[in-house]
Amino acid sequence: MQKRVVITGIGGICGLGNDAPAMWDAMRAGRSAIGPIDNPSLHDLKVKTGCEIKELPEHGIDRKQVVSMDRFSLLAVIAAREAMRQSGLTAHADNTYRMGAIVGIGVAGFETIEENYRAILLEGRNRAAIFTVPKVMPGAAAGQVSMALGLRGPVFGATSACSSANHAISTAVDQIRLGRADVMVAGGTEAPLVWGVLKGWEALRVLSPDTCRPFSADRAGLVLGEGAGMAVLESYDHAMARGATILAEIAGVGLSADASDIVAPTVEGPEAAMRFCLADAGLNPEDVDYLNAHGTGTKANDQIETAAIKRVFGNHAPSLSVSSTKSMHAHCLGASGGLEMIACVMAIRDGIVPPTANYREPDPECDLDVTPNVARERKVRAALSNSFAFGGTNAVLAFKAV
């Protein structure tokens, strides 16, 4: 029998708030943080809508560490420290090699990349900044988290575009199940609100000019955001032995690939990931009360995800509460699964299903209960979190009450 894995701490930061409680309060209220991006360097963009963190909190991280971090790593460390504080754990000589970190990232270090391009190409400097390479490494966030928290066990990054956080969490679950660690800090981070990244997404013609309306017939595309969501994972036995407060159990994971198209999703890939997740968790479709959808607000994604959910859940699909919290915190790429993990954990804890904000018109092709605009009280015994990505990589997590 494989080890059970539980969550004992969560931490987050995004446009909705500078910590997990503030983010959850905003989600419960159906309050969207999407709006105009306040960044004067974003010239020559057709779309300047996003979900940005207006001001970072007083984080107390040593300045010598801060100067070696790109923004995506800083956000990860802020969220990880919050999660660790809630868990009540600290690393010391007896446990440090049994504690690790895996952090998902979609597009790493673009703030640093752009700063150096401007300095060299526009300002005429003859060399890049000294910390450029360690700042832009995709694994930098995991390394910075390990240094901030003193974790010397398995530490590395995971990158699979928009599925990165769920892949990081699922891989952290594996480390505990395999006995390589007792504790893992895992989640995702992203800081994509820079000119080069936004210009690239603009070329794909999928950005909404105003806001994100998942599953609504008048949806106009996705909106990008920044943030980080992290969790402290422990084996159930480890958590119980130290008398920890368990927030939820990660009951199962499901991974699949479309093997079809670099950007266009299929129904079969997401369907397989959800089925694998339910099987790994030992859950029947009717055991799941809430599903946090990938729900990007593009027509293709929303319709395909709806079809996949209906295939997997069958007769239970109409009774399933579904929502996309991207309608409030936007699509934070590699961080999205981390933020949505917080939504699932708190839905289980509080018995509240967060809504799909900005919803206006029913779409016959998205005919599930998408919890439009207003949160709903409901006992959530188990919740699924969907993440699907360019490249056809799919990662689904199952959470349940303990």
Residues carrying an active site annotation: 162, 294, 331
Question: Are 268 and 303 a contacting pair, CB within 8 Å?
Answer: no
Q: Which residues pair with 186 in a beta bridge?
A: 102, 231
Cα torsion for 208, 213, 214, 218, to the nearest 10°?
-90
Q: What does the alpha-carbon distance between residue 106 and residue 138 come to, in Å, rounded to a whole number?
A: 8
Task: Return the DSSP state at 366.
Answer: S
Residues near 227 by beta carbon (within 8 Å), at least 6 away in sequence:
12, 13, 14, 15, 51, 53, 75, 189, 190, 329, 332, 335, 338, 339
Whole-number Å distance between alpha carbons of 114 and 134: 15
Q: How far apart are CA 157 and CA 155, in angstroms?
A: 7
Task: State the pairing for strand pair 99-105/155-158.
Answer: parallel
Distance CA 225, CA 250 (A): 26
The closest of 117, 29, 60, 400 to 251, measured between CA atoms, is 400
Pairing of strands 376-377, 382-389: unpaired
